[in-house]
Amino acid sequence: MTRRSFTVPCTIRVQHTYESLEAHVELDGGIEPGIGDKVLVHGAPVSVPFGRSLVLRREATVTRANVFEKALVRFQSMFELTELYEVSFTNGKV
């Protein structure tokens, strides 16, 4: 099994405010990671003080998943999705 890896420039946006704590990576060239793909952003860890936001340019290595890895991620995701919700048909009284 061979893996296809390539390096691409990217933009990192980090926000650390009262309203939001988020980080986003946008790969240049319209590249979209697929199921099971891995993205490794190069460089030092990013630390943003409270109340601030930051935009950085870095490089990232994208490693495309093979057929087995894609199937495994799809299978695992069926079980992990159920951790996000709880369904009950009782009136709350035990």
Report the pLDDT value the prediction gives residue 77, as an integer from 0 to 100: 83
pTM for the full predicted model: 0.72
In 19-44, which positions are buried (b, 16+ CB within 10 angstroms) versus exposed (e)? eeeeeeeebeeeeeeeebbeeebeee
In 49-63, which positions are buried (b, 16+ CB within 10 angstroms) versus exposed (e)? eeeeeeeeeeebebb
Digitized pLDDT (tens) for each residue of the chain, 94 residues in all: 445 999 999 999 999 999 999 999 999 999 999 999 999 999 999 889 999 999 999 999 999 999 999 999 999 887 776 665 655 566 655 5
The label of the residue with tokens 């926000």 reads 15
Report the pLDDT value the prediction gives residue 28, as an integer from 0 to 100: 95
